[in-house]
Amino acid sequence: MIIEFKSKAAGAFFMTEPVMKMVFSAMGVEFSPKGIFTEEQVPRMREALANAIERTKQQDQARMSQHDEAVRQGEASGKELPVGLSQRAFPLLDMLTAAEKKNVAVVWGV
């Protein structure tokens, strides 16, 4: 399933359900295919996501380093580059940041 995120503060973007589940889990939010972060919730959600990204940056960098080393040794030809939480969650973090500045909600799946 592909889910669209919208806000009056930023352009819409899409996330697949598995990625959305990963991002929401990292934020401590229960997954729902439809929902809203109200104006009041947006600052807390932005902070939760920013903290989750910061916690996983080392893991993301370690995966990238392992991939780079495998490429140098010729073991990673044809393997996909690993994509971590910080990269997958960036569009939502960007939207939440813009929504916080404009004091508007973020909705998805509607």
| Total number of domains constituting the chain | 1
What is the pTM assigned to this prediction?
0.81
Q: Tens digits of per-residue pLDDT, 19-70?
A: 999 999 999 999 999 999 999 999 999 999 999 998 887 777 777 777 677 7
Q: Which domain holds residue 8?
A: 2-108
Strands, E, within 1-110: which ranges? Answer: 2-7, 10-16, 35-37, 106-108
Q: Tens digits of per-residue pLDDT, 84-107?
A: 788 889 999 999 999 999 999 999
| Amino acid 14: pLDDT | 97
Enumerate residues 6+ apart whose C-beta is below 8 A from 26: 49, 52, 53, 55, 56, 85, 89
| Amino acid 77: pLDDT | 59
